[in-house]
Structure 1
Amino acid sequence: KWFKGNKDLGEVVGLRKEIFGVGGEDFYDEFSFNIGIYEEDEELVGIGRLFTKDGKFYIDNFGVKEGYRNKYYGDFMLRILIRKAYDLGIERVYVECRDDTSGFFEKLGFVEEKKQGDILTLYREGDITSECCKG
């Protein structure tokens, strides 16, 4: 499910807090596309956000609820966010992540741009549709 802007983000914000231990709405939500992935029982199990900052487009607040990890929800969400960016005419998307989680993003074509401490900035260019089911 897509959430455009900061409308109806209560459930998304709640899962942000559960996954990351912090969270809440912020300035970027107003200008963002948030995605929520639901389990068959209509439980929100994954979230992510596409937004712009300093002229670049980022994916952040990206996570899957404990107990639902390693079931390809994250892979599916990331592909949808990349496709959304591509459909909006965005050629390059960025993600900032901890060094120990970079492999997940690299598996889907992200490459390192810079490293600051244990935080990496990765980017990916182009569409992902033709790469479905390779990983």
Structure 2
Amino acid sequence: MKMQIKETELEKVWELRHEVMYPEKDTEYVKLADDENGIHLGFYINNKLVSVISLFTEEDSIQFRKFATLKDEQGKGYGTILLNEVIDYAERNDIKKIWCNSRIEKTGFYEKFGFIKTDKKYEKDGREFIIVEKISSVL
């Protein structure tokens, strides 16, 4: 089995986001206004895209967004490999903080990587979110 992480074209990223995150909406819904400014990483198995994550850097901080893995590929550790790559990328580039808007029910996943819940919460589309972050002292 050949595994690879590489930058991925936006069209492929949008397709996977749409299929996994918001299949009930139209494709435009999964596009971010600043997608053109992001780095979009894809996790491939035997040249098939199975997971994506989008990175947005601002000064010494990086936000990851729209982290998604195909339903039938979830629970196999692919998201873990991809998130570890993001953490490594941050270390290599002297990023001081990594953060994301996590769905409340997914915070346990991020805590395994040393992310800490903040007190910043909000609701969107009937889903509750909380910001989780990892500061350089624990990177």
TM band (smaller chain): 0.7 to 0.9
Moved over 3 A (4+): 22-25, 52-56
Corresponding residue number in structure 1 for 2:17: 16
Instruction: Give structure 1 stretches of 5+ with no counterpart.
Output: 129-135
Please point out which of 52, 57, 81 is paired with 1:52. Answer: 57
1:75 equivalent to 2:80? Answer yes
Pairing 1:120–2:127 present: no
Q: Deviations over 1:55-86 (max 9, x none)?
A: 84211110110111110001011111121122
2:38 alignment partner, one of 32, 35, 54: 32
Amino acid at match of 1:3: E
In structure 2, stretches of 5+ residues that fail to align are 123-127
SS of 2:72's equivalent in the other structure is: coil
What is the CA–CA distance in structure 2 between the aligned matches of 1:125 and 1:92, rounded to whole Å? 5
How many residue pairs get aligned? The number is 124
Of stretches 99-108 and 45-54 in structure 1, the one that deviates more from structure 2 is 45-54
- How far is 1:9 from its partner? 1.4
Structure 2 Cα separation of the partners of residues 54 and 90 of structure 1: 8
The normalised TM-score by structure 2 is 0.78
Q: Does 1:62 align with 2:40?
A: no
Quote the sequence identity (%). 24
Distance 2:52 2:66 in 1: 7
Assess if the C-alpha contact under 8 Å between 1:2 and 1:33 holds in 2. Answer: no
Kept in 1, the 8 Å contact 2:60–2:96? The answer is no
- Answer 1 or 2: which has greater strand percent: 2
The normalised TM-score by structure 1 is 0.80
SS at match of 1:67: helix
